[in-house]
Amino acid sequence: MKLFGKKQDTAAVLLSNDQIACGIVLHPVTKKWQTWVSLHGIDITCLTAHNKREDADKVARQIVAAWEKGLDNQSQVKAFFQSLPSDDVVDPLPHEVVMRLSRKIKKK
């Protein structure tokens, strides 16, 4: 997991407006590697599912690069996310996995 953007000291918001957390996680049921992002530190949104860890890692790096470059508006963000390659449909993560990822973000 990586945090990108400027660090902000606040207890109410885990990530500031210019930060994103991004990573990959192995889904415990499907055994697919899923890329995920969090814009607030308490939300985890999975974007893609992959058979191979290295494919998921490559997509996560694409997400980070696009965030650092800057996406100007909501339509660009939507188009970028829709353009990401995926081997399968994304399955929602179990609650305990989401909570574990949120705790990791909070520790950063």
Tens of pLDDT along 15-64? 776 788 899 999 999 999 999 999 888 889 999 999 999 999 999 999 99
The SS3 of residue 34 is strand
Q: Which two tokens stand for residue 12?
A: 């109410």
Q: What is the rounded CA–CA span in Å between residue 51 and residue 97?
A: 19
Residue 57 vs residue 3, higher pLDDT: 57
CB burial of 52-72 (b: ≥16 within 10 Å; e: otherwise) equals eeebbeebbebbbebbeeeee
Flag whether pLDDT at 8 surpasses 70.
no
pLDDT of residue 101: 93
Tens of pLDDT along 60-106? 999 999 988 888 888 998 899 999 999 999 999 999 999 999 998 88
- Identify the burial level of 38 via C-beta atoms within 10 angstroms of its C-beta, where 0-12 means exposed, 13-18 middle and 19 or more buried: buried
* pTM exceeds 0.75 for this model: yes
